[in-house]
Amino acid sequence: MRRAPAAAFLLLALLAAAEASGPEGGEQACDKGWERSGSRLCCKRNITDFFKARHFEELFPRRNDTIAHAAGFWDYPAFIAAAALFEPRGFGTTGGKEMGVREVAAFLAHVGAITSCGRFYPNPMAWGLCYKREMSPYQNFYCDDSNELYRCVEGLQYYGRGGEALFLNYNYGIIGKGIKQDLLSHPELLQQNATLAFEAAIWRWMTPVKWRQPSAHDAFVGNWKPSKNDLLSKRYPGFGTTMNIMRGDRICGQGFTDEMNNTISHYIYYLGLMGVNHEHSGRSLDCADQVVFNPSSKSLGS
Ligand SMILES: *[C@@H]1O[C@H](CO)[C@@H](O)[C@H](O)[C@H]1NC(C)=O
Ligand SMILES: *[C@@H]1O[C@H](CO)[C@@H](O)[C@H](O)[C@H]1NC(C)=O
Ligand SMILES: *[C@@H]1O[C@H](CO)[C@@H](O)[C@H](O)[C@H]1NC(C)=O
Ligand SMILES: *[C@@H]1O[C@H](CO)[C@@H](O)[C@H](O)[C@H]1NC(C)=O
């Protein structure tokens, strides 16, 4: 019943945006390839045009360090292979080139901050992709028995793994369904195959956690228009709301905490390495006083 108006609104918004886009932002309407005519996605552009292997090395220079816990695991081809699956849906390909760069930096900032192994000087930002799994998980802590849809498999553990430290049977179940892998029976895939680990993380970025909520992608690139309730909850399009969606009250709505700041710092730092000045990082970088979309007491295993 409610789908129609929402879809119509989205279409109007897309049309309006397509019309509004000019040469300024490097956007152009196109009529070939997987982009449909009039789409905002620019012809033939993909992430490899602006994100090269050397950028990946610069963003994650210490990932093979002797103290890194996932040395030799994460690599550029894995990221590119995973990203390619989501480019037709707009990942890194929405809007002009600068928006593409910003989205890749924003997504990787989440991954880098979560998988960092600490604040080692001189450069605490250099330690992303140090982990591929949570190191000392509590036994059996990550099984929510009340979830009937995605039951835990006896003997397996659903602690944090992969690029977003995906945890809990519910999340393994739903993301596995999304990327067409049986992660409930094989959670270890996310620590054995870097392409799948990136795929799971990008799927989460591209997909709303709940119906009628924006995906991190939509909140970031501006596809999402906040409702009155969102505005009252201080949720605006931008990097801050991606943290709300991806991490919820683990880092949002608690003021300027260290962990939230650290995620923002990764974003700004990665942008710089990719040649975008911090002044172009977009508005609403933080989620310090945002009301979270999914409070953890309600969203876990729901
Ligand atoms: C890290 O290891 C990966 C996988 O073995 C390799 O492709 C990459 O070149 C290495 N990078 C650095 C900075 O050592
Ligand atoms: C992205 O662009 C590169 C260089 O043009 C090309 O080799 C590659 O096949 C493209 N990838 C996808 C998924 O379109
Ligand atoms: C990782 O998963 C991808 C996607 O399913 C697959 O194509 C690739 O062969 C796997 N790599 C390894 C080393 O198993
Ligand atoms: C986080 O950043 C804000 C703004 O830059 C700053 O005022 C605050 O002190 C920082 N918080 C922590 C815990 O470092």
Encode pLDDT of 278-287 as tens digits.
999 999 999 9
Q: Which of 146, 153, 150 is nearest to 170 (CA)?
A: 150
Q: Is the CB of 196 under 6 A from ligand 3?
A: yes
**Ligand 2 atom closest to residue 46's alpha carbon, by position in its atom list:** 1
Q: How far out from the chain centre does Cα 255 lie?
A: 22
**Strands, E, within 179-245: which ranges?**
none
pLDDT per residue over 35-67, tens digit each? 444 455 545 678 999 999 999 999 999 999 888
Residue whose tokens read 């409070």 = 295
Indicate which CATH number applies to the domain containing 82.
1.10.530.10
Residue 137 is predicted with a pLDDT of 65
In a domain, 44, yes or no: yes
Residue 208 Ramachandran class (φ > 0 left, ψ -120 to 50 alpha, else beta)? beta
Task: Give the other-Cβ count within 10 Å of 163's Cβ.
Answer: 31
Separation of CA 74 and ligand 1 centre (Å): 8
With a cut of 80, say whether residue 9 has pLDDT above it: no
What is the C-alpha to C-alpha distance for residues 202 and 194, in angstroms, rounded to an integer?
12
- In sequence order, what are the residues at sequence separation of 6 or more whose Cβ sits closer than 8 angstroms to the Cβ of residue 110? 164, 201, 205, 216, 242, 243, 246, 247, 263, 266
Q: Whose CA is nearest to atom 3 of ligand 2?
A: 48
Residue 18 is predicted with a pLDDT of 37
Cα-based angle 116, 119, 125 (whole degrees, multiple of 5): 60
Q: Whose CA is nearest to atom 5 of ligand 4?
A: 261
Question: Under a CB-based contact definition with an 8 Å cutoff, are residues 224 and 214 in contact?
Answer: yes
Task: Give the other-Cβ count within 10 Å of 294's Cβ.
Answer: 16
Q: Is the CB of 93 under 6 A from ligand 2?
A: no
Q: How many domains does the chain have?
A: 1
**Ligand 4 atom closest to residue 261's alpha carbon, by position in its atom list:** 1
pLDDT per residue over 251-273, tens digit each? 999 999 999 999 999 999 999 99
Q: What is the band of 243 on the pLDDT scale with cuts at 50, 70, 90?
A: very high
Q: At what angle do helices 97-114 and 258-273 cross, to 10 degrees?
A: 140
What is the C-alpha to C-alpha distance for residues 196 and 187, in angstroms, rounded to an integer?
11
Q: What is the band of 8 on the pLDDT scale with cuts at 50, 70, 90?
A: very low
pLDDT exceeding 70 applies to what percent of the chain? 81
What is the C-alpha to C-alpha distance for residues 201 and 100, in angstroms, rounded to an integer?
17
More confident residue, 2 or 193: 193
pLDDT per residue over 164-194, tens digit each? 777 788 888 899 999 999 988 998 898 899 9
With a cut of 80, say whether residue 17 has pLDDT above it: no
In a domain, 64, yes or no: yes
With a cut of 60, say whether residue 117 has pLDDT above it: yes
What is the C-alpha to C-alpha distance for residues 10 and 7, in angstroms, rounded to an integer?
5
Q: Is the CB of 261 under 6 A from ligand 4?
A: yes
What is the C-alpha to C-alpha distance for residues 5 and 11, in angstroms, rounded to an integer?
10
Q: Is the CB of 284 under 6 A from ligand 4?
A: no
- In sequence order, what are the residues at sequence separation of 6 or more whose Cβ sits closer than 8 angstroms to the Cβ of residue 274? 50, 51, 55, 101, 104, 105
Q: Whose CA is nearest to atom 10 of ligand 3?
A: 193
In a domain, 161, yes or no: no
In a domain, 56, yes or no: yes
> Of the bound ligands, which one is closest to the alpha carbon of residue 50?
2
What are the φ and ψ backbone dihedral angles of 252, each rounded to 5 degrees?
-110, 155
**Ligand 1 atom closest to residue 57's alpha carbon, by position in its atom list:** 13
What pTM did the predictor assign? 0.84
In a domain, 57, yes or no: yes
In terms of residue numbers, what domain contains 124?
28-132+195-299
In a domain, 18, yes or no: no
In a domain, 168, yes or no: no
CA dist 13 → 10, 38, 271, 296, 299 (Å)? 5, 13, 28, 32, 30
Task: Give the other-Cβ count within 10 Å of 138's Cβ.
Answer: 9
More confident residue, 104 or 301: 104
User: How many helices (H) does the chain have, and how many strands (E)?
Assistant: 12, 0
